Amino acid sequence: MFGWYREIGPAERRTFWACLGGWSLDAFDVQMFGLAIPALIATFGLSRSDAGLIGAVTLLAAALGGWIGGALSDRIGRVRALKITVLWFAVSTFLAAFAQSFAQLLSLKLLQGLGFGAEWAAGAVLMAEAIRPRHRGKALGAVQGGWAIGWGAAVLLSTAAFSAFEQGTAWRLLFACGLAPALLILYVRRSVPEPARRHAAAEPQAPATPLAIFAPGMRRVTIIGALLGLGAHGGFHALFTWLPTYLSAERGTSVLGTGLYLGIIIAAFGLGCLVAGSLVDRLGRRTTVAMFAIGCMILVALYLLVPVDGTVLLLLGAPLGFCAAGIPASLAALFSELFPAGLRGTGMGFCYNAGRFASAVLPLGVGLLSEILGLGPAIGVSALAAYGLVLLAVTLLPDARADDARPAHRELTR
């Protein structure tokens, strides 16, 4: 599964580790919100709808940030954009630890979302251009697996914090630790070269403006890609924004019990990213995404809509986490091959993050719907609709394989 790593050069390896670290720390910052929802509700006297609004605003900002971050990477370079965006979301998360009101917390989460979305766009296009084509899917899948690393670190830290401190202090400590990603900038600055714009001479170059991806020759791919991003993000955020609250409030699990359930899901999520990375290079992008979408729909129904006891719920967590990983782990490879070099950052940033913009209503919608259906059914219905959209959208996109999608990779030598 990791044989590809031995075949890539030193510059490719350094780029891989920088992007893996950025995405892991990004996940660490973002996933702390879902883990802290019960404490935030108690601290600020929020309703579930209020908490859903914070999640929705964060995702809306991430969508805008991803589009801006992708365009920024096309203009100033991939590495410079990565450094700026990592610093932005780290500082924003840290400042959220000192929020004294719902309005302050909402504003700071908005700022965090801008940096979070922009960081993915900058890092994904950097990886897509730095890694040789035949290993692009595997490398991008492994980087996406960094989400499990950051998510797992957030769960471990939150379990320790909420076990050792009262909840009003614990969530602030969690957010304060969000400054850690800023240290990554030191490594990026020393070790990561700016990649050559692959195929820049061979491909038609459009002006690197955010609206250029809606030119007549690219509009259809851009819109369908955005719908795919909507389904992917909608399913993930409908599930995992509210899952810790579902486990503790609806299933009555303790802090340690919730950590165990989430730990199994997270470990399987990391494995799913690695397997998906291999499959996209072997089976093609569309086939891989479709397979994982079908798996997600089946498992969401079993996990949340069918009455099961705690043991079965625990066992279902592994396949649920595995299938939930496969779609986001495949998107960077798929999107990177849909756009010319001069618009690759803008196109990838928009398609991936436009899904966040539209799916931002889902955490809020789950909160509202839970007051009618209950939290478990509300999560399940929302996630099923989102993964159904993934299945529809992916059938409308062209498929591409890393080996034949583009001319041969020009290896970095610096």
266-276 pLDDT tens trace: 888 889 888 98
Residue 2 located in a structural domain: no
Does 414 have pLDDT greater than 90?
no
* φ, ψ for residue 202, nearest 5 deg: -80, -25
What is the phi/psi pair of residue 348, to 5°? -65, -45
Contact 348, 332 (CB under 8 A): yes
CA dist., res. 266 & res. 243, Å (int) = 12
Q: Is 339 a member of any domain?
A: yes
Q: 407 lies in a domain?
A: no
Please indicate, yes or no, if residue 53 is contained in any of the structural domains: yes
13: DSSP letter? H
Task: Determine the pLDDT at residue 404.
Answer: 41
pLDDT at position 411 = 34
Residue 102 vs residues 30, 41, 115, 365: alpha-carbon distances, Å: 18, 10, 20, 19
Q: For residues 374 and 363, what is the distance between their CA atoms, to the nearest angstrom?
A: 14
* DSSP code per residue over 43-72: HHT--HHHHHHHHHHHHHHHHHHHHHHHHH
Show the DSSP H helices in 200-343 as ranges: 219-240, 243-245, 255-282, 285-300, 310-336
- The pLDDT tens digits of the residues spanning 73-83 come to 888 888 888 88
Confidence band, pLDDT 50/70/90 cuts, at residue 399: low
Residue 214 clears pLDDT 50, i.e. is over it: yes
pLDDT over 50 at 143, yes or no = yes
Q: Note the pLDDT of residue 200.
A: 46
Q: Is residue 374 part of a domain?
A: yes
Q: What is the pLDDT of residues 340-383, one digit of tens each?
A: 777 888 888 888 877 766 666 776 677 778 778 888 888 888 88
Average pLDDT over residues 318-331: 87
Q: What is the mean pLDDT of residues 57-86?
A: 84
Q: Which domain holds residue 55?
A: 8-192+214-394
209 within some domain: no
> What is the pLDDT at residue 67?
80
pLDDT at 169: 92
Over the stretch 307-318, which tens digit does the pLDDT of each residue have?
777 677 777 888
CATH number at residue 297: 1.20.1250.20
Return the higher-pLDDT residue of 142 and 407: 142
Q: Is the pLDDT of residue 407 over 80?
A: no
323 in a domain, yes or no? Answer: yes
Rounded distance, CA 20 to CA 26, Å? Answer: 10
What confidence tier does 203 reach under pLDDT thresholds 50, 70, 90? Answer: very low
Indicate the number of domains in the chain: 1
Percent of the chain with pLDDT over 70: 88
| Residue 198 placed within a domain | no
